[in-house]
Amino acid sequence: MEIFLDTANIEEIKEILSWGVMRGLTTNQKIFLNEKGVNFETQVKKILDLVDGPVSIEAPACDAEGIIKAAREYAKWNKKKVVIKIPMLANGDGIKAAYTLEKEGIKTNVTAMMNVNQTMLAAAAGATYASLFFNRIRDGGVDPIEVVKQSRAFIDQGDYKTKLIVGSIRKPNDVIEIASANPHVITIPYKIMKQMPFHEKTVETLKEFDKAWEEFLKAEKKC
């Protein structure tokens, strides 16, 4: 299971890269909105220079033609790393775009998915990645763990190449829940990633160790 970072902020990316845990990166329109004043292409190219792995960027279009046109342009920036996020459009245009782009060798990530039916279509169309939105599924009154498990089972049983990404994470415990359902990738916001190393009992234990070491050194000096 791989960990991706969910951000478009350069400093956040640099910090988490220094941890050595992230294997790729995901973005979307809301994430870029947080980076006010940046040029989209310039920012993406900076990210591509930093991240040694797949970088998902969303095609801002609402039909197959528009998605494909944007995807072909974005892929020119770095075809090896760029992954085109394609919305799971209700009329099937997203699936159509994913199928077309995959045949052209452009990596895709069908996104904003909420159920197994959508996963089935994305995988059958040959998408490189398929992204389920964990807490948004839960907001709809459905158990997201079951959706992730069933989606992963469909991909495995059909021997599809698609990797299942799970995002929409709001607290550290979500990561634990998602991991139990065994997706291929968990994409984690910077804010949550920063909380993951913390546990109050770990802090308490280390304080005890530090105190014990100080006492040991004092006793050593008396010898």
Chain center to CA of 57: 11
Phi, psi angle pair for 30, to nearest 5°: -65, -35
Residue 57: strand pairing partners: 84
Q: Does residue 81 have an active-site annotation? A: no
- Tell me the two tokens of residue 177: 């829940």
**Residue 219, burial from CB neighbour count under 10 angstroms (0-12, 13-18, 19+):** exposed
Distance CA 199, CA 158 (A): 40
Which of 45, 46, 85, 218 is catalytic? The answer is 85
Chain center to CA of 40: 19
Q: Cβ neighbours of residue 157 under 8 Å, at least 6 residues apart?
A: none
Distance CA 176, CA 131 (A): 17
Distance CA 11, CA 38 (A): 14
Beta strands 185-189; 129-133: pairing state: unpaired
Type of residue at 109: N
What are the catalytic residues? 85
